């Protein structure tokens, strides 16, 4: 199998890994780097379960070839909690009852982060747009949208 050295920033640390550049970033994270917080749903760019930040932009990691991330920065759900304490977005999801089975949650939280990094005071419509690529089969989205708006409020305090 064709492999090459891939160097990139992962959750703030420089990482170097010898892997097949054609495999997806999702599988590089889960299988080669042991970061299983990023979930695989459809594997085809349709559900958003695999969302990570690539240079601070939300992307479906199942669609990104590992070979394309050299020299870039990737942030995954594992970067958020500190000392076992959830970050402000994760906390808002729990407070607003936005987590049921939880399968979509890492992707939703990462899409929320991508939004809040660019826009600290989003409107409900902007929140809806930010998570429009993330499917949830459980909550009906209302609690998720409320959680993201609540996280934005936390940023102000």
Residues contacting 7, CB < 8 A, separation 6+: 14, 15, 16, 70, 71
Of 46 and 56, nearer to ligand FES (C-beta) is: 46
Residues in contact with ligand FES by the rule CB under 6 A: 40-43, 45-50, 60, 62, 99-105, 136-139
Task: Report, in Å, the least distance between residue 124 CB and ligand FES.
Answer: 19
Q: Max CA-CA distance within the chain?
A: 52
Of 42 and 57, nearer to ligand FES (C-beta) is: 42
DSSP assignment letter at 149 = H
Of 46 and 121, nearer to ligand FES (C-beta) is: 46
Task: Report, in Å, the least distance between residue 131 CB and ligand FES.
Answer: 11
Task: Report, in Å, the least distance between residue 75 CB and ligand FES.
Answer: 16
- Torsion angles phi and psi, residue 143, rounded to 5: -65, -35
d(CA 147, CA 2): 43
């Amino acid at each position: 199998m064709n492999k090459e050295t891939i160097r990139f920033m992962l959750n703030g640390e420089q990482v170097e890994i010898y892997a097949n550049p054609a495999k997806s970033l999702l599988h590089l994270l889960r299988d080669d780097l042991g970061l299983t917080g990023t979930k695989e749903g459809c594997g085809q760019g349709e559900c958003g379960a695999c969302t990570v930040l690539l240079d601070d932009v939300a992307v479906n990691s199942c669609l990104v070839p590992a070979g394309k991330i050299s020299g870039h920065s990737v942030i995954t759900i594992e970067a958020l909690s500190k000392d076992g304490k959830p970050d402000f977005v994760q906390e808002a999801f729990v407070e607003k009852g936005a987590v049921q089975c939880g399968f979509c949650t890492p992707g939703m939280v990462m899409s929320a982060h991508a939004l809040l990094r660019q826009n600290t005071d989003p409107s409900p419509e902007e929140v809806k747009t930010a998570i429009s690529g993330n499917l949830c089969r459980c909550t009906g989205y209302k609690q998720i949208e409320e959680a993201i708006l609540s996280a934005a409020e936390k940023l102000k305090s």
